Structure 1
Amino acid sequence: MRKSKNSNHPAKGASIKVEPIRTLEDIERIKTMLQGQPRNLCLFTLGINTAYRAGELLSLRIADVIDLRPGAVLDLKQSKNKEYRQTVMNKTVYHAIQNWLQQHPKQNDLNAPLFLSQRKNKSLTVAAVNLLMKSWCYEIGLIGNYGSHSLRKTWGYHQRVTQGQSLTLISRALGHATEADTLRYLGLLPDEVGALYLNMEL
């Protein structure tokens, strides 16, 4: 019996921008699905609660996070510009990390990758995270294009739409040159331009 095709996989050779996860309900559905997968739940939770790229998250070692508590600063080198950027640990991320560390197969090796690959005994790759994100979104019935960048796009999207944070702050956190870049990156440019016409009637 053939498996149904994953609609979140773009056609071969296609260049497609991935989307954020736009509803809090869908985020919770993925978290519920990953409850028995502490590594994946930690990866997903850390990804959507920071503005780090997948490659930056995968550079983490146990030593980087083992002593962090809520409110502590995590300082990671950005893969794009090699500059360090800080994020602050929230309680949700703290609990996800602690839950995974308790079950990490190399929990006593401080130099071990935080997100360990089960097959190669090394860190997960960005390609693997890309496939994981596609499969998680597919499993809960999301239609669209999702991948590793969906993690940080989800953070930025909900900072803007759910929390109402300023584009200036979000752009700075994402390392974008302009606020228009951020709106395009998050898929919000058409929405916010359209709102200019709907929100005022002269």
Structure 2
Amino acid sequence: MMNTVDAIKNLSQINKMKEYLKTRSTRDYCLFLLGINTGIRINELIHLRVSDVMTADEKVRDFLDSAAYANPPVYFNRMVREAIQDCIHSEGLEHDDYLFKSKKTMSPISRQQAYRIISEAARYSGIEGAIGTTTLRKTFGYHAYQKGIAISLIQKRLQQSTPSETIQFIGLANERHSLPIILDVNL
């Protein structure tokens, strides 16, 4: 049985992790940002190639080029696009390279390496909950919900079967829903 991990719900802890990772490695910072801003599974995240995120004329795409994440599509916000650009330039990556290439080989980093990156940054940031690579997806889902994104869209992005599964997954099952639901079309 796998241990369950938590979403990072505290924004100051997220910011502390971002600061820590940015000083350590543009690749690791980019991995974290992409994970918490897109909800992509870690195995798919580490296997992204530069060509999935950048056009032939070297412009970072606004949306991920992926059939698996087409509905809804994965949007790269400005901060994510900048992190991708910095990662590609600082790591000297080519169009066919893995975005999260190992420092030692041409292969992508492993799930274990991704786990080490995330858990080390979490420890540094004083996060005591259960942290793992799935924390990135859970953090994305939790904060998307807190910003008013419909649970049905989050469910689709996280590729889960039911809204109740998604609510459980992102750690809302035992929380009082703090967002009032206002159905105002303001015609």
TM bracket (short chain) = 0.7 to 0.9
Task: Supply the distance in 1 between the matched residues of 2:111 and 2:98 (Cα, whole angstroms).
Answer: 14
Classify 1:53/1:122 alpha carbon distance in 2 versus 1 (closer, same or farther; 3 Å).
Answer: same
The match for 1:100 among 87, 99, 124 is 87
Q: Which whole-Å deviations, capped at 9, do the CAs of 1:90-149 have from their partners, x for residues lacking one?
A: 1011000111111114x2x32111101113332011121122211111111110111111
Q: What is the TM-score normalised by the length of structure 2?
A: 0.85
Q: Name the amino acid aligned to 2:29.
A: L
Aligned 1:103-142 pairs, distance under 5 A:
103-105=90-92, 107=93, 109-142=94-127
Q: For 1:32, what is the secondary structure of its paired residue? A: helix
1:56–1:77 CA contact under 8 A, matched in 2: no
Task: Supply the distance in 1 between the matched residues of 2:106 and 2:152 (Cα, whole angstroms).
Answer: 40
The worse-fitting range, judged by mean Cα deviation, of 84-93 and 34-43 is: 84-93
Residue 50 of structure 1 pairs with residue 38 of structure 2: yes
Higher strand share: 1
Structure 1 segments unaligned to the other structure (5+ residues): 1-13, 196-202
Residue 156 of structure 1 pairs with residue 111 of structure 2: no
Aligned 1:1-202 pairs, distance under 5 A:
15-36=2-23, 37-67=25-55, 68-69=59-60, 72-76=62-66, 78=68, 86-105=73-92, 107=93, 109-161=94-146, 163-192=147-176
Query: What's the offset of the Cα at 1:52?
Result: 0.5
Task: Supply the distance in 2 between the matched residues of 1:76 and 1:127 (Cα, whole angstroms).
Answer: 24
State the superposition RMSD in angstroms. Answer: 1.9
User: How many residues matched?
Assistant: 173
Q: What is the TM-score normalised by the length of structure 1?
A: 0.79
Q: Where does residue 5 of structure 1 map in the other structure?
A: none
Q: For 1:74, what is the secondary structure of its paired residue? A: coil
Higher alpha-carbon Rg: 1
Task: Supply the distance in 2 between the matched residues of 1:48 and 1:27 (Cα, whole angstroms).
Answer: 9
Q: Which whole-Å deviations, capped at 9, do the CAs of 1:33-92 have from their partners, x for residues lacking one?
A: 11221011111111111021011111111122223546x2213354xxxx7552112101
Task: Supply the distance in 2 between the matched residues of 1:192 and 1:147 (Cα, whole angstroms).
Answer: 25
Q: For 2:175, what is the secondary structure of its paired residue? A: helix
Structure 2 segments unaligned to the other structure (5+ residues): 179-187
